């Protein structure tokens, strides 16, 4: 089913208001520690995506891998937002080798009808949350997971399911080792403390402590693969306590790229955002599992342990959302803080 927005066939480029709505959707992309390491520039004929290196995490993201994954997600949602406004776009990735922080340009190629699937995806993107709480018990069918992974339509990427018992055990070992490595690093704990902050809502960035439930020592969550402990050992933080036994039975989807350069990571971020949105449309909840991928050396070791031939760019935890209130919505900076324009005519 398709529809049209007003003004189809009249304008040659989006209005500033349309751009603002597209960017408002783009900033809903998931980003490491909700750092939102991106900025947008509206030029006469394109919407540019730039990396904001001041928001790159030194301890957990020394080579900018997570920054590119995060920015790729914003790029996907910006394109989706422009499609919802009735604009056809062409994406030019890493267009200028002399300006490596210019990650992409979305060129405006004229008006087009809006497919109903686009509106559904936009609605799902607005609902999507990172679900850090235990999933509702129940296995997600392999058929449904195959529907999810089929959404990766970039020939340089593919999604794979971790199904074999040996592979899940190896993933649990790798994730536990990586989690311990990070948690025992004072620089990592200090960095984490600056982004898990009580004033997150007011600041429009970071993660509120109430949004990151953690397990008590000696009473781990009932799942083999540990999720990131944002509290990093803080006994005063919100916790899942009381000896609950929660058999959440998560599924794991690993996103691979054939190459491992900046372009591949940016594309992987786009695919990750799409997977998250598609999961929401299917009624599933997701969260990123990146401890085993954060650091270059750990990434290499985990790839060897898992005998993965290609490059893992994201490990996605997938399951049924808890039968309680939706996950807390992490804040975002206002559009005015991330969007500038070089247009001479703002009318």
**Tokens at 337, concatenated:** 């803080």
Whole-number pLDDT of residue 327: 77
**Is residue 264 situated within a structural domain?**
yes
Q: Region 67-92: what's the mean pLDDT? A: 98
Residue among 119, 79, 73 at smallest CA distance from 286 = 73
**Is residue 134 situated within a structural domain?**
no
pLDDT in tens, 189-205: 999 989 988 888 889 99
Burial 136-161 (b: 16+ CB within 10 A, else e): eeeebeeeebeebbeebeeeebbbbb
**Is residue 36 situated within a structural domain?**
yes
Number of domains present in the structure of the chain: 2
- Verify that 81 and 171 share a domain, yes or no: no
- Verify that 237 and 120 share a domain, yes or no: no
**Tokens at 338, concatenated:** 């991330």
Residue among 334, 275, 347 at smallest CA distance from 40 = 334
Specify which residues 161 forms β-bridges with: 253
- Verify that 78 and 27 share a domain, yes or no: yes
- Verify that 106 and 227 share a domain, yes or no: no
For position 98, which CATH number holds? 3.40.109.10
- Verify that 161 and 119 share a domain, yes or no: no
Strand 311-319 and strand 251-257: pairing?
Answer: antiparallel
Whole-number pLDDT of residue 325: 80
Largest CA distance in the chain: 64
What DSSP character marks residue 8? T
The rounded distance, in Å, linking the Cα atoms of 197 and 200 is: 5
- Verify that 117 and 194 share a domain, yes or no: no
Determine the structural domain holding residue 299 and report its residue range.
Answer: 142-319
- Verify that 121 and 189 share a domain, yes or no: no
pLDDT in tens, 234-275: 444 444 433 444 557 899 999 999 999 999 999 999 999 999
- Verify that 118 and 225 share a domain, yes or no: no
Q: How many CB atoms are located within 10 Å of the residue 324 CB?
A: 8
The rounded distance, in Å, linking the Cα atoms of 269 and 65 is: 10
pLDDT in tens, 273-306: 999 999 999 999 999 999 999 999 999 999 999 9
> What is the band of 233 on the pLDDT scale with cuts at 50, 70, 90?
very low
Q: How many CB atoms are located within 10 Å of the residue 310 CB?
A: 18
> What is the band of 229 on the pLDDT scale with cuts at 50, 70, 90?
low
The rounded distance, in Å, linking the Cα atoms of 192 and 237 is: 13
- Verify that 114 and 172 share a domain, yes or no: no
Secondary structure of residue 163 in the 3-state scheme: coil
How far separated are the first and last CA of the chain, in Å rounded? 32
- Verify that 199 and 309 share a domain, yes or no: yes
Angle at 33 between CA 29 and CA 35, to 5 degrees: 65
State the pTM of this model. 0.90
Residue among 262, 273, 341 at smallest CA distance from 99 = 262
**Tokens at 273, concatenated:** 């955002």
Whole-number pLDDT of residue 238: 44
- Verify that 121 and 152 share a domain, yes or no: no
- Verify that 114 and 208 share a domain, yes or no: no
Whole-number pLDDT of residue 329: 83
Whole-number pLDDT of residue 324: 79
Whole-number pLDDT of residue 49: 98
Secondary structure of residue 311 in the 3-state scheme: strand
Which helix (H) or strand (E) is 282 found in, with range? none
Question: For all residues of the chain together, what is the average pLDDT?
Answer: 88
Helices 142-149/262-281 angle, 10° precision = 130
**Is residue 346 situated within a structural domain?**
no
Q: In the chain, where does DSSP find H-type helix?
A: 16-26, 65-84, 116-127, 142-149, 165-183, 186-195, 200-203, 262-281, 296-305, 335-338
Residue among 129, 126, 119 at smallest CA distance from 26 = 126
**326 to 131, 133, 172: CA distances (angstroms):** 9, 10, 27
Residue among 161, 169, 166 at smallest CA distance from 141 = 161
């Amino acid at each position: 089913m398709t529809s049209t927005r007003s003004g189809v066939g009249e304008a040659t480029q989006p209005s500033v208001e349309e751009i603002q709505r597209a960017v408002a959707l783009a900033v809903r992309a998931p980003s490491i520690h909700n750092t939102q390491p991106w900025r947008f520039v509206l030029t006469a004929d394109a919407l540019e995506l730039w990396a904001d290196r001041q928001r790159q995490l030194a301890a957990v993201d020394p080579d900018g891998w997570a920054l590119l994954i995060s920015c790729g997600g914003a790029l996907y949602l910006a394109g989706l937002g422009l499609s919802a406004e009735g604009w056809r776009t062409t994406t030019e990735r890493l267009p200028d080798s002399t300006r490596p922080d210019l990650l992409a340009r979305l060129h405006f190629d004229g008006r087009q009808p809006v497919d109903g699937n686009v509106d559904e995806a936009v609605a799902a993107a607005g609902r999507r949350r990172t679900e850090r709480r235990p999933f509702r018990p129940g296995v997600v069918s392999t058929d449904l997971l195959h529907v999810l992974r089929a959404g990766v339509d970039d020939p340089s990427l593919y999604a794979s399911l971790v199904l074999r018992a040996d592979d899940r055990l190896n993933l649990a070992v790798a994730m536990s080792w990586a989690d311990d490595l990070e948690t025992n690093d004072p620089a990592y704990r200090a960095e984490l403390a600056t982004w898990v902050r009580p004033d997150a809502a007011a600041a429009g960035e970071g993660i509120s402590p109430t949004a990151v439930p953690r397990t008590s020592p000696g009473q781990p969550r009932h799942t083999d693969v540990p999720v990131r402990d944002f509290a990093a050992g803080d006994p005063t933080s919100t916790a899942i306590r009381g000896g609950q036994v929660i058999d959440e039975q998560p599924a794991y989807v690993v996103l691979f790229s054939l190459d491992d350069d900046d372009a591949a990571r940016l594309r992987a971020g786009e695919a990750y955002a799409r997977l998250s949105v598609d999961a929401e449309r299917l009624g599933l909840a997701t969260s990123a599992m990146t401890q085993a991928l954060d650091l270059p050396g750990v990434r290499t070791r985990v790839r060897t342990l898992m005998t993965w031939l290609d490059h893992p760019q994201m490990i996605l935890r997938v399951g049924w959302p808890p039968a309680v209130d939706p996950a807390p919505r992490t804040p975002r900076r206002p559009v005015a803080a991330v969007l500038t324009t070089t247009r001479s005519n703002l009318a």
